[in-house]
Amino acid sequence: MKHSKMPKTISLSLIIFFLSVNAFAQNPLIMDQFTADPTARVFNGKLYVFPSHDIVPPKGEGRAEWFNMADYHVFSSEDLTNWTDHGKILDQKDVPWADPKAYSMWAPDAVSKNGKFYFYFPTRLKDAGDGEKGFSIGVAVADKPEGPYKPQPNHIQRVEGIDPNVFIDKDGQAYLYWSRGKIYGAKLKDNMLELDSEIKTFEEIPQKGHIEGPFVFERNGTYYMTYPHVANNTERLEYGTSDNPMGPFTHQGVIMDESASGTWTNHHSIVNYKDQWYLFYHDNDLSPDFDKNRSNRADSLFFEENGNIKKVIPTKRGVGITASTSEIQVDRYSAKSNYGAASVFLDRLDPFKGWKVVLNKPEAWVKYNKVDFGAEGSKNVKIRARSLTGGTVAVKLAGQDNKEISKVTIQKGGNWEVFSAPVKSEATAVQDLLLQLKSGAGVEVDWVQFEK
């Protein structure tokens, strides 16, 4: 796997553990810690994400320049905009069969059956050798998706590998899939803790190039086996289909291309929530120089009429609707002009502070889709901005005539300030917002917020 430099500036206090914290909208989904390998599941009408938790390990522990994960958190959201971190649900030191100092709590999954919640996770066995052979998969059981989860005394027997995925078919039969260079699968017993069949190797899935991270789901009677595969340089997401959860699967195509950032891994899940399909995946947004500290993302996923998956193009904007009265992070735009507009870190030395938009040429613009203005119009719009030369920014509703609803003057000055102006015409309901530089240059915008 590609090795890149470890960030020097991420303070441990930022990433060790949090209890319930409301996180953010847009991509990446979580802005106060690293998260990777997101498995999204719907439980009790709410969307839960079970990711890995990349960290910078304590000095002298873990593996330098590699993945380091000591525990898992679970996150939930009802609107895919506001995310709650329910805190730590499992720690490596609490798994009886695992090496408590392995920092190898890799990609997990969670499913619900018979009123219980089963959390599947890979980690290294005590006294394990090197490589994925030293890994097995364990189960921790809870009464609620948020836990507390109690790990089983032993790992699942006969399973060697990583990246567990459990699929429960309509007839109640559960299947466990995992990887170790190739993808493997077997039936699970009704207790969800033991294999109930021979292990099948999915030889028909392209075997040239590393394959891992299986995720199986069913739609309209078709079983989709989806997985990251290194066909060229880094992992891209691919899939095959079958009329049986144990295959054979016919290769169909690519769901997401290799990451533009060069991040070597991608790891995903696909979920239907409130009648929309979503792809959850990861990239290195908060760690641009070290791709083993990753961040979860989500984008909408669509199918062709024939059931094929349309390729998902990663966005900064992500999913969910943003309230007009919140600080709208226009640097996570859904579209931008192809000149004079860019999203850059607020502080390159501390990516956790987020981004700003720099508008550099008159008429340069960014669009931020799905802003909910509610039933009543807004009185004012505020923009947190700075500009050494000053400028004016038009606030518009994106549409046929891109109607201007306000114009905000950004006074010349080097410090961040909040500038405001009245909103001239009524904006209600869910609209796409457009911000356009009308005069000046070098106008940096942190966020936009409407006041009622």
Give the contact letters, 176-215, x = binds to ligand FUB (CB under 6 A), - = no: ------------------------------------xx--
291 binds ligand FUB (CB under 6 A): no
The count of residues interacting with ligand FUB (CB under 6 A) is: 12
Residues paired with residue 187 on neighbouring β-strands, in sequence order: 175
Question: Which residue in the list 54, 132, 212, 238 is annotated as catalytic?
Answer: 212
* 77/265 with CB nearer ligand FUB: 265
Residues paired with residue 366 on neighbouring β-strands, in sequence order: 336, 435
316 binds ligand FUB (CB under 6 A): no
Give the burial string for 308-333 (b: 16+ CB within 10 Å, else e). Answer: ebeebebbbbbbbebbbebebbbbbb
* 37/331 with CB nearer ligand FUB: 37
Both tokens of residue 194?
A: 């033991």
Q: Least distance to ligand FUB from the beta carbon of 177, Å? A: 12
* 213/320 with CB nearer ligand FUB: 213
280 binds ligand FUB (CB under 6 A): no
Pairing state between β 215-219 and 222-229: antiparallel
Q: Least distance to ligand FUB from the beta carbon of 106, Å? A: 3
Closest by CA to 91, choosing from 82, 80, 102, is 102
For ligand FUB, the binding residue among 26, 52, 84, 259 (CB under 6 A) is 52
Residues paired with residue 368 on neighbouring β-strands, in sequence order: 433
Both tokens of residue 239?
A: 């899939």
For ligand FUB, the binding residue among 75, 106, 121, 184 (CB under 6 A) is 106
* 36/125 with CB nearer ligand FUB: 36
* 206/399 with CB nearer ligand FUB: 206
- Reply yes or no on whether 289 is catalytic: no
* Cβ atoms of residues 106 and 67 within 8 Å: yes
Q: Least distance to ligand FUB from the beta carbon of 238, Å? A: 14
* 70/410 with CB nearer ligand FUB: 70
Both tokens of residue 157?
A: 């027997």
**CA distance linking residue 401 with residue 373, whole number of Å:** 18
55 binds ligand FUB (CB under 6 A): no
Hey, which residues between 20 and 39 contact ligand FUB (CB under 6 A)?
A: 36-37
How many Cα neighbours within 13 Å face the side chain of 113? 21
**DSSP sequence for 433-448:** EEEEEEEES-EEEEEE
**CA distance linking residue 445 with residue 359, whole number of Å:** 8
70 binds ligand FUB (CB under 6 A): no
Q: Least distance to ligand FUB from the beta carbon of 321, Å? A: 29
**DSSP sequence for 16-28:** S--SEEE--SSSS
145 binds ligand FUB (CB under 6 A): no
- Reply yes or no on whether 37 is catalytic: yes
Residue type at 206 in one-letter notation: P
265 binds ligand FUB (CB under 6 A): yes
Residue type at 198 in one-letter notation: E
354 binds ligand FUB (CB under 6 A): no
107 binds ligand FUB (CB under 6 A): yes
**CA distance linking residue 26 with residue 329, whole number of Å:** 8
Q: Which positions touch ligand FUB (CB under 6 A)? A: 36-37, 52, 67, 106-107, 162-163, 212-213, 265, 267
